[in-house]
Amino acid sequence: MISRAPVHCPLGGARATQGARGGGRTADVPYLIDGNNVLGSWGGPAVPGDGRAEILRRVADFCRVKGARAVLVFDGAPFRPELDGQQLGAVSLRFPGPGRDADSLIREIVDGASRPGELIVVTSDKPLSSYARTRGARVLRAHEWNALAREGAPQAAKGRPGRGEKPEQETDVEGWLKRFSGE
């Protein structure tokens, strides 16, 4: 049995829980994003690797443009084994851990929300959408979020920065990705 403790989710109105490794802090969460659904519905050009880093960049760009915050949840293993949860500026990146899936972690975060009506859950999974709505959260389907993100994407964010470009600040997602990938 996994013990539950509040996890730091630095966004609007939600208290989230995660296994004991998650820490003991709570905060607010407006966008709660099923990263695999967003990746599957993107419909853009192929990206190198498994595409998760590109989705992280898109969510970070969206948050920067909209002044929003998000928790991005992916199925599977973290980018690096020791990093099962990361705070990257306005984006909190989460992975469900062994034997669990992203949907169960998203349900857990919704259940732990002090004000679930302030959450916007982004998923195309019908059972998860239904569950989030019954708990009071708003839901955007992944393709709807992709369209919203494309509308607000700044021109500079649509292109990739050149290799060797120094991040503007340490919380810049591109800088963190370079740091974690060993570049």
pLDDT in tens, 42-94: 766 566 677 888 899 999 999 999 889 999 999 988 877 776 678 888 999 99
Contact 86, 69 (CB under 8 A): no
pLDDT tens digits, residue range 111-166?
998 899 999 999 999 999 999 999 999 999 999 999 888 886 654 334 444 344 44
The mean pLDDT value for 6-17 works out to 39
**C-alpha–C-alpha distance, residues 93 and 32, integer Å:** 10
At residue 176, the pLDDT reads 59
Q: What is the pLDDT of residue 80?
A: 76
Q: Is the dihedral of CA 64, 65, 67, 71 positive or negative?
A: negative
Report the phi/psi class of residue 51: left, alpha or beta, with left for phi > 0 and alpha for psi in -120 to 50: left
Measured CA to CA, the distance from residue 151 to residue 15 in angstroms comes to 30
Confidence of residue 174 (pLDDT cuts 50, 70, 90): low
Of 88, 127, 124, the C-alpha closest to 10 is 88
Res 31 pLDDT > 70: yes
Least confident of 26-30, 49-53, 68-72, 172-176: 26-30
| Structure confidence at residue 153 (pLDDT) | 60
Query: Regarding the domain delimited by 29-110+117-181, which CATH topology (the fold level of the hierarchy) does it fall under?
Result: Rossmann fold (3.40.50)
